[in-house]
Chains A and B, each alone.
Chain A
Amino acid sequence: MNANGKPKLAMYWASACGGCEISTLNIGEHILTVDAVFDLAFFPCIADFKVKDVLGYPDGYIDLCLINGAIRNSENEEMVRLLRRKSKLLVAFGSCAYEGCIPALSNLTTRDATLRAAYLDNPSIDNPAGTLPQPHTAVPEGDLEIPFFYHTVKSLDQVVDVDYTIPGCPPEPHQIWAVLQVVVAALTQGGSLPPKGVLLGAGSVAVCEECALAKHEKAVARFYRPYQIRPEPGLCLLEQGLICMGPATLSGCGALCPQVGMGCRGCYGPLPGAEDQGMRMLTAIASILDVSGRPGDNELDLERKVEAAADTIVDPAGTFYRFSMAHSLLRRARTDGVEAAVPQPAVWS
C-alpha cells in the first residue's frame, strides 16, 4: 500500500456541519499540492472510502489525520478511537473537535430534551406516532443498531490523545495552508514538527488587536441583539452595545466578523492563559456595563438597575460559551432533578 511512498492523509468528520471540509478545499489551488504530496487514505466528504478500508490499515499507517466535529454519539467516539490507532499525527481540526462548539451548547440541556426538540416539539415536525430514534430495533431479519446519542458532547481531546489543535469555526483557509506546509515539510524534507499539544494556525493576541474598527473608552448602558440595531460602520461594536467576543477570543481569523458588523462569536477559543473563555467574556462585559452609583445610594435600587441592564443580555451562558462549552470549567449543566429549574433563555425580545 505504501508503494508510491507518499505520506497518507485522512480527514474525518464527527459531529460537524461540513464547514471545516469546505474551508480545507478553500485553500484554492494549493489543494493540487496537497494532492501531489499526499495519498488520500480516508476522506468521506470528497472520496469514496469505507470504514473497512481503515480497519485494514496497519496501526500508524495514516501520517496526518485531521478530525473535525465534536463527539456527540457512540459512532463519533468509535471512529475517532479507530483513527487515533491508525494515525501517527492526529489533529483536532476546528472548534467542534477543539472545544465542542455549537453541538456542545446542548450540554446546557439533556439528551431527552434535545431529542424531544428534534423529533417531537419543533413546529415543523410531523411525527404523529411520536417515533424517537432507538439504539436497538428488533426486525424479523435481526437486531438493527444505530449509534447511541450521548447526554454530554465532548471535545476530541476528552476522548483520544490529540497531537495538534487548529482552532476556528471553520479554521481560515490561509491558516490551514500554513499548517499543512509545516507538516508537509516535516514529512517530506525532514523538517521539524511543532511540539506536541500546541495550537496551530492561530495568532497569540485578542481578536480586538487585529480588528480595524475604531476603539474608545467603553461605557455601555445596555446591550442589543444583532437584529435590533444597525451598527455604525467603522466603530467598535461593543461600544455600540453589540456583544462582540473579541476581547476574550484568540486572534488568527483577521477579525472578519466585526468588519461586516457582526460581533465576534468567539470561535477561535480562549486566549493563552485563560482557563474559561466564558468567564473572561463575562468579566469584560461587566467592566464596560455603565451602571454605577454614588456613596449612600440605596443598595436595592442599585441592584435593580444592574438587573435591568443584565436583562438586555439574553442567554448569557449560550453567548459566552457559544464555542467553548465542552472545554469550560463546568462542561455541562447539572440535570439531576433540577432540570425543571434550569431556566430557558428569556423570550426573544
Chain B
Amino acid sequence: MSEPFEPVIIGFTCNWCSYRAADLAGTSRVKYPPNIRLIRLMCSGRLDPTFVLKALAGGADGVLITGCHPGECHYLEQNYKTLRRFTLLRRTLAQFGIEPERVRLVWASAAEGARLAVEIGKMVEEVRALGPLNWQGVIADDGDPPIAIYHPQSEWVQGVAA
C-alpha cells in the first residue's frame, strides 16, 4: 500500500516577529503539523524569490513566507518589498501551473504564536488536498520519447545516447 501523502512545506520566518511567533507556539505548547520546515532569515526582505523556486524545484510541495506585519518590520520598509515580490512571484508561478495555495504569505507578530500555528495547519491541509508537486518529475517526464527510441536507425544517436 502506498503511504499517505505528507506534504513538505518550507517556511521562511523573520528573526524578529514570525520566528518568535513560531517559538511562542512551541513554548506555549500549541500544536502545529510537523510538515513545515522552518528556516529563519533576519527579515522577510532577505527572501530572494530564487529560494522559493529552489525549494519547489528541489522537492517541496509548498512554501510559506512569513514576516512582521506591514509597518512593523525591524528594517522599516523591507516587508513592503516582500509583499511586492510575493505578488509578482505568485503571478509568475501561476503561469508555470503552480497553484496559489502552494506559495503563501502570512504576517505574524511575535505575539501571534497561536494564529501562526492555525495558518500553518490550514496551509498543510490545502496542500495535502492538492497532492504532491514533484517538480523534478515535471521536468523529467516531458512527454518526449527518448531520441534513441524515436530514431532507432541512427547508429550515431545510439552510439552517443547515454
Contact = CB atoms under 8 A, between A and B. Distances in A.
Interface stretch (A20-28, A119-127, A226-234, A273-281): A273-281
Given A282-B88, A282-B89, A295-B72, A150 B96 contact: no
Contacts of B57: 329-330
Contact of B56 (A285, A330, A341): A330
A276 B53 contact: yes
Contact of A332 (B70, B139, B159): B139
Interface string B51-76: 00110110000000000011110000
B95 A316 contact: yes
B49 A342 contact: no
A315 to B, nearest CB: 8
A243 to B, nearest CB: 12
B156 A81 contact: yes
Contacts of B154: 78
A339 B81 CA distance: 31
B5 interface: no
Contact of B83 (A111, A306, A329): A306
A228 B151 CA distance: 49
B64 to A, nearest CB: 17
Interface stretch (B32-40, B112-120, B142-150): B142-150
B85 to A, nearest CB: 4
A55 interface: yes
A293 interface: yes
A247 to B, nearest CB: 14
Interface centre among B71, B88, B139, B154, by most A CB within 10 Å? B88
Interface string A332-347: 1111101101110100
A193 interface: no
Contacts of A303: 83, 87
A289 B84 contact: yes
A323 interface: no
A150 B146 CA distance: 10
Q: Is the interface of B mostly helix, strand, loop or mixed?
A: helix
Interface in B90-104: 91-92, 94-99
B114 to A, nearest CB: 19
Interface string A122-154: 000000000000010000000000001011100
| Number of chain B interface residues as a range | 35 or more
Contacts of A318: 95
A108 B95 contact: yes
A74 B139 contact: no
Nearest to B105: A303
A74 B95 CA distance: 26
B30 to A, nearest CB: 23
Given A55-B156, A302-B83, A111 B54 contact: no
A292 interface: yes
A84 to B, nearest CB: 7
Interface in B128-162: 133, 135, 138-139, 142-145, 147, 150-151, 154, 156-157, 159-161
Contacts of A296: 71
Contacts of B143: 111, 151-152
A279 B50 contact: yes
B70 A297 contact: yes
Contacts of A333: 95-97
Nearest to A153: B142
B47 to A, nearest CB: 9
A82 B154 CA distance: 10
B147 A77 contact: yes
B160 A85 contact: yes
B87 A306 contact: yes
A51 B145 CA distance: 23
Interface string B22-46: 0000000000000000000000000
Contact of A335 (B97, B135, B161): B97
Contacts of A275: 50, 54
A289 B159 CA distance: 53
B48 interface: yes
B12 interface: no
A310 B91 CA distance: 9
4 closest pairs, A vs B, by CB?
A295-B71, A334-B97, A317-B95, A152-B142
5 contacts: A78-B154, A152-B143, A283-B49, A332-B142, A333-B95
Interface of A: 55, 74, 77-78, 81-82, 84-85, 108, 111, 135, 148, 150-152, 160, 274-276, 278-280, 282-283, 285-287, 289, 291-297, 299, 302-303, 306-307, 309-310, 313, 315-318, 320, 328-336, 338-339, 341-343, 345
